[in-house]
Each structure stands twice: as C-alpha cells, then as structure tokens.
A and B are shown apart, each in its own frame.
Chain A
Amino acid sequence: MSISIVNGRLVDPAHGIDDLLDLHVDGEVVVGVGDAPAEFTADEVIDARGCIVAPGLVDLAANLREPGYEYKATLSSEAAAAARGGITTVLCTPDTNPVIDNAAVVELIHRMARKLGQTRILATGALTRGLNGEQLSEMAALRQAGCVAVSNAHYPLGSTLVERRALEYASTFGLTVFLRPEDRHLRAGGCAHEGAVATRLGLPAIPSAAESVAVARDLALAEHCQAKIHFRALSTMTAARMLGEARAAGINVTADVAAHQLHLTEMDVDGFDPKCHVSPPLRTLSDREALRRAVADGTIAAICSDHQPHEPDAKERPFPETEPGISGLETLLGLTLRLVDEGALDLLTALARVTSGPADILGLPYGRLGIGSPADVVVFDFERRWTLDAARMRSEGHNTPFDGWDFPGTVTHTIFNGRVVYRGVETA
C-alpha cells in the first residue's frame, strides 16, 4: 500500500519543517518528503489542502485496562480511541491484572495490539514484582520482550533503598525509569489539592510538597545512581523549577505533564465534580502557568494523555470515593492545539511535545517524518473546530470534564504503519 498526501502543510518538529510539502509513504515507511521518489505510484492520494500533516502522536502514558479490567476498557476500544485521536504510539501502564511484570504479559499485549493494527501499543514494564514496591521485577526479561521503560505506575516504592536498587538495576539494561513523584505520607489519603478550594469543601488534601519532596529524593538518587529517570505527570510549579535546575546541572532527567493539567485548576473541582478528580490533583492557576512555561521552554518535553478510562460507577460516588482519572486519548491533540489557540505555544513546539518530544525521551524512532521514518501520520484541519460529545467517544471510558468543549484541529486521517486507520467523517 502506498499513499501520497498532497497539498498539505507539513509540520515535522523533529526536522524543524513547517512548509507546503507533499508526503509519500510506501509500505511501512516514509519514502518521500516533497518530491516522490522516481517511479512512485500511489494507491491512494489524500488531498490535504488546508490541512496540517504531522507525525502521528506519541503518548507516554495511557492505562488501557486490559488484561484484567475489561469492565473499564479493552485494548480494542482504546486502540480505536487512539486512532481517532491521531495517536499512533501509546505506552500502556503496567497496572493491569496480571501486572506487566513478566515477558508473557508483554508478549500478550504486543500480540493483541499487532492484531488490532490500530495503533502501536508498547508495554511499560513494572519496576517491582506485582507493583508491590519491594521486590525488583525481571527487568532484563522485560527489556528482551520489548519494554522500553519501566514504572511502578502510581504505586509507591517501599523505601528509598528499594528505589536506589531499582534505578541501578534498570539502568544496567538501559531502561528508562518512569517515576510518579509523590510522597505517600504527605498524600495521606488526600484527593484534592491543598488549597483554597479543598479548604472550603473540606476535602482531604494533598499538599504541593507531596510532589516536590519526592522530586528532590528522586533527583538525588538519579544523580547518585547515574540512572535515567523520567517524571510522569508533574503538577506543581516547584517541581517544574526543580526539574529545570536539575537538567541545568546535567542530571539525566526528563518529564511529562498530563494534558488536562495545562487547562484545569483546583477551581474545577468546586461543586465536588468527580470528573475533575485526578491524581496528581488539579493545582492552582500559578502551577498551571508554570507548567505551561516549562512545556514552552522544553523543560517538560512531553504532553501525555494520562488516559484512565472508567466505568460509570467509578465516578458515581461521593467525590473522595470516586476513582481518579480522565479518559484522555481523544482529547490529547485537541487540548495541545488549544494551547496554540490560547497563545501559550507555537504550533511547531506544541506538536513537538506530542511527537518527537516523547519519542526522544525513550530514543524511539517514531514521532518524526524523515525518509525511512515509520509511516505514522496525522492529518488535521486546524481551522475546523469540533466539539467533544462524551457520549460518542470511542473509548469505553466516557469520563471526561471536557464534554462540550470546543477544540481546534479536526482529524481527517490517521495513518498508522502505512495504513489509514481513521478517517474523519465528512460533515461538510
């Protein structure tokens, strides 16, 4: 199968390209940028006039729920959601049941993903066995089975000693360690940011220091162990500042932020809205602005969906008892492009944070459109706005606070591995 995408505006942050250029793919790879190779004939020509042609999105963290939590979502439903969202590479989190702590589960997920053929699903291995925080997982076997990173999901590690050993062992095999920095003692059963809103609503609160204390600890250990760590889902101004300082000091550390943290604040929790119950919690406007600046200057190199689909019951309880998380695959691109709309990011930077930025954190060849790159492409019309209808999401999880929000950038085509996996419905 060969495809030419013509007349579009090609935006490829990895190569600094933003120009009217055609793109030609043959089989699973890009074969031409601008001119087609000699004697190339396209089986399909996509006219992308007025549209942006960009690398397919790379999402560093999505909980896809299968195996084990199929009542929340399945690989099949979530792969379709990713395709609709223009995401062609997804790292799934290891907190499945069974946990992704051995090669068999990795192979199961990778095999199912290949069969679905909707998006590339890469398993994040567990850092500790059963995510118990005490005993190291078989990281060498996980690496061999195809894991590119390990994490303990949102589960805490038993001690700083376990963390040190885990960082050392993971780095032995060149595995990046994803850490969700949160001091569990300071979290203390909280469910909302310790600020004006939680004070007023009487919600058990999580202080910003729960994150910064853990960031300080993790940075010290990463420096000591010479390990590569990646902070997942930063939420505070202080953590962003510490990250910037650590990077300037030469510590091998990267970070991402959940797309919703760049738009919502603690104010959105008011009225006990369980759709805004997320972990880490929504923080203050100053935190949000600091995170936006860190994304703009590259201190935070990736924006991710932090996708957590839930069944309706999980959110139909009093706020503190609801399960945290947002079904985010279908809004990752829209929320990122809204940052362009609002003037927080330019288009090239915004797209970098969801394509080459996350790919480079793990040294993956995706999220770019050079000759020979994997043929993962998203085509969208920036000017054509769309409105999210939660009831019509492809994800099994309809839990989103963005229902009714209006977004720039209607996706017209998602191409994964050289095949069109999603076509936007023409509404003309």
Chain B
Amino acid sequence: MPSPRSSNLQLNEHGRLRHFLTIEGLSRDLLTQILDTAESFAALPGRPVKKVPLLRGRIITNLFFENSTRTRTTFELAAKLLSADVINFNISTSATSKGETLLDTLRNIEAMHSDMFVVRHAQSGAAHFIAEHAAPRVSVINAGDGRHAHPTQAMLDMFTIRKHKGDFTPLRVAIVGDVLHSRVARSQILALNTLGVSEVRVVGPRTLLPTEARALGVHVFHDLEAGVRDVDVVIMLRLQNERMDGALLPNQHEYFRLYGLTDERLEAAKPDAIVMHPGPINRGIEMDSEVADGPRSVILQQVSYGIAVRMAVMSMAMQSQADISGGEA
C-alpha cells in the first residue's frame, strides 16, 4: 500500500516526479525544474517541425470525468508534440452512476496499457485516489480535482509570471474572486509561496473566501483597491455562473461593482503589473474588456504557455518511469 501522503506519493525513490497531483510537498527546486523544462519546449510550436520524439511509443489517456474542452485539448496537444499517442475518455457522471465504480473504470482503462492518465474529476482527492490505485508503471497527472488542485494551471501561471518578472522573490501577487471554490487558486497559492514570493493576497467577499484562508499562507483583503495596491501580479479567478444567484452573492452587478477589475482600479497596482485569468473570462463580471484586452493582460500567453508546461510535466513524469524500469523494480 503506497503512503497516502501526497508528497511521498508524487515522488519516486530518487525524489523525481512520478505523479503530478498537487503543488503541496514539492520543493522549490522541483518547481523550478518544471519551469526550466517548459522553457525548452516553449519555442517548439513556432518552428516548422513542431514535434519532439521524447514520448514516442507511449500511450497517454485523457480521463475526463468532468467536461473541459480547452484543458483536455491543451493536454492532447502537449502529448502529441511529445509524439505520444493519445486516447480520450470522456466519462460523464451518468455513465459511472450506472454502476461501474471509479476503480472498475480505472482497471478497464489500465488494461489498455496506458502509460499515463491525465485525470479531471469533480471530487477533491480523485487524482490521489487514482494514483494510489493505478498500476506502478502508470503516471497520473491531475488536470483538476474538485476544489482541491489544478497544478498544471498553477505552473503555467508561474511560467507566465517568470517570463514577465524574472525573479519571484520580490513579488506581491493578488488573487481576486472565488477562492473558496477554486482549485486553481489553491494550487497558485502553494506554488507562489514555494517559489518564495514576498506576499500572496486573496481578495473577495467573505462568502467566497475559505474561513481558514490564512492557513493557506495568504493575507486576506475584502477591498479590491486595497488588495491590488502595489502588487506586481493580479490574478482574476473565474466566477462560476451558479455562484451568482443565491446566498453567496446578491447578483453580478454588485459583484462587478465591488470586485470587477477596471483600468481605474488597476491604477493602484504597480505600473508594470500584469493581469492574469485562467479563462474563460466573464467580461463585465470579473473584469472589463479594456483590461482583458489591454496592454497589461497576459491572458492569451497563459494559454500558449500551458502547452509547454504540460509537455514539461508529462516528459518529467515519464522519465521517472525510466528510473523504475532501469532500477531494482
């Protein structure tokens, strides 16, 4: 039985990345290694010959229990640029509710000799569960589990920040919006703190922040202008439609009035501050179009860097499998 502790579960006996489930428990060196590896892949899509043969002959399975065209597509593209073969499984919750357990689904797909699962699931901890139960030669990449983690998204955000800011240590970063329900925010906070930024802030009304937010290692702000004052990076989170009506927020209008990012509000941030968003944007709710399309927005770069970061993580996890086959296993 493997240890349930995520930090051990993710690394092989040589301390190399075996699964990528969460940022928690990973060292600054390892995160930097992911960013450096991504750097080497970032130039590829612009070249006439786009593919590298690193994962030739490998089979990567996208196991999506939650719909997501765009994340799945970037993973698929990343795998193909590494010359792997890709299988897509979109398993709607209705199919699993017909009786097949997640474990049965896993065994079935394992029988197809996949080398890697890219997993997205609505329940927090699902990727850990799959990593604990998968065959030893299968690597698991978390593409988002419940509210828990979305580590590749966080790493592409770190990549984007590094591209623009270079050094992490002097940076102040504000994360604005629905932190409570956001796996992206949890992974970003862990990554930023591991990489040693000077301050991480979360900004939002109390209904959208976890009651124990400080336990994540952040400063809590309820006022947007105060929250973005003198920051180097503003990360806006997506507000899911279902949060807008009911007891969490009165309506979109009030949310935008208080927490929507406008050019005017961005004045409080540093003059060279960048604005990020994991997408897709709700224009006029999380931010103005002027900001989204403005000079400080790096939102579209995030998307293209996402491919390089996913290539980096996939290739590193696959290389750690070579440790197993070459080792005493």
Chain A residues packing against B (C-beta within 8 Å)? 194-196, 198-204, 207, 270-273, 313, 316-321
Chain B residues packing against A (C-beta within 8 Å)? 3-6, 24, 101-103, 121, 123-126, 128-129, 133, 145-149, 183, 186, 210-213, 215-216
B186 touches A320 (CB 8 A): no
Q: A271-B128, A317-B103 are known contacts; what are 6 more A-B pairs with Cβ within 8 Å? A: A200-B24, A202-B149, A202-B183, A316-B101, A318-B124, A320-B123
Other-chain residue from B103, B121, B215 in contact with A200 (beta carbon distance below 8 A): B215
Chain A residues whose CB sits within 8 angstroms of the CB of B216 once the complex forms: 199-200
Nearest 3 pairs of A and B residues by beta carbon: A202-B147, A202-B148, A196-B215
Chain B residues whose CB sits within 8 angstroms of the CB of A204 once the complex forms: 124, 146-147
Chain A residues whose CB sits within 8 angstroms of the CB of B210 once the complex forms: 199
Given contacts A200-B215, A202-B186, A203-B148, contact A316 B103 (CB under 8 A): yes
B129 touches A318 (CB 8 A): yes
A273 touches B4 (CB 8 A): yes
A272 to B212, CA, bound (A): 18
Other-chain residue from A196, A198, A200, A318 in contact with B126 (beta carbon distance below 8 A): A318
A158 to B210, CA, bound (A): 29
Given contacts A199-B211, A207-B211, contact A317 B102 (CB under 8 A): yes
B147 touches A319 (CB 8 A): no
Given contacts A317-B129, A319-B123, contact A200 B186 (CB under 8 A): yes
Given contacts A199-B210, A199-B213, A207-B211, contact A272 B103 (CB under 8 A): no
A195 touches B212 (CB 8 A): yes
A202 touches B129 (CB 8 A): no
A203 to B123, CA, bound (A): 8
A330 to B121, CA, bound (A): 36
Q: Give the shortest distance, in Å, between B182 (CB) and chain A (any CB).
A: 8
Task: Give 7 A-B contacts (CB < 8 Å), ordered by A residue.
Answer: A200-B215, A200-B216, A203-B124, A270-B5, A317-B101, A318-B145, A321-B102
Q: Quick one: closest A residue to B150, CB to CB?
A: A202
A319 touches B124 (CB 8 A): yes
Q: Give the shortest distance, in Å, between A382 (CB) and chain B (any CB).
A: 32
Chain B residues whose CB sits within 8 angstroms of the CB of A200 once the complex forms: 24, 186, 215-216
| B24, B121, B145, B212 interface centre (most CB from chain A within 10 Å) | B212
A320 touches B215 (CB 8 A): no
Q: Give the shortest distance, in Å, between A238 (CB) and chain B (any CB).
A: 15
A273 to B132, CA, bound (A): 11
A196 to B102, CA, bound (A): 28
A100 to B216, CA, bound (A): 46
A22 to B277, CA, bound (A): 76
A201 touches B148 (CB 8 A): yes
Q: Quick one: closest A residue to B185, CB to CB?
A: A202
B211 touches A194 (CB 8 A): yes
A201 to B187, CA, bound (A): 10
A374 to B144, CA, bound (A): 58
A272 touches B183 (CB 8 A): no
Other-chain residue from A198, A199, A203, A313 in contact with B101 (beta carbon distance below 8 A): A313
Q: Quick one: closest A residue to B129, CB to CB?
A: A318
Q: Give the shortest distance, in Å, between A307 (CB) and chain B (any CB).
A: 23
Chain B residues whose CB sits within 8 angstroms of the CB of A207 once the complex forms: 211
B215 touches A272 (CB 8 A): no
A57 to B128, CA, bound (A): 39
A318 touches B125 (CB 8 A): yes
Q: Give the shortest distance, in Å, between B120 (CB) and chain A (any CB).
A: 12
Q: Quick one: closest B residue to A194, CB to CB?
A: B211
| A198, A200, A320 interface centre (most CB from chain B within 10 Å) | A200
A272 touches B186 (CB 8 A): no
Chain A residues whose CB sits within 8 angstroms of the CB of B212 once the complex forms: 194-196, 198-199
Chain B residues whose CB sits within 8 angstroms of the CB of A195 once the complex forms: 212, 215
A318 touches B102 (CB 8 A): yes
Chain A residues whose CB sits within 8 angstroms of the CB of B147 once the complex forms: 202-204
Chain B residues whose CB sits within 8 angstroms of the CB of A318 once the complex forms: 102, 121, 123-126, 128-129, 145-146
A271 touches B124 (CB 8 A): no
Other-chain residue from A194, A199, A201, A316 in contact with B125 (beta carbon distance below 8 A): A201
Given contacts A196-B215, A199-B215, A271-B5, contact A321 B186 (CB under 8 A): no
Chain A residues whose CB sits within 8 angstroms of the CB of B103 once the complex forms: 313, 316-317
A207 to B212, CA, bound (A): 11
Q: Give the shortest distance, in Å, between A424 (CB) and chain B (any CB).
A: 28
Other-chain residue from B3, B4, B125, B215 in contact with A203 (beta carbon distance below 8 A): B125
Q: Quick one: closest A residue to B3, CB to CB?
A: A271
Q: Give the shortest distance, in Å, between A286 (CB) and chain B (any CB).
A: 13
A320 to B146, CA, bound (A): 10
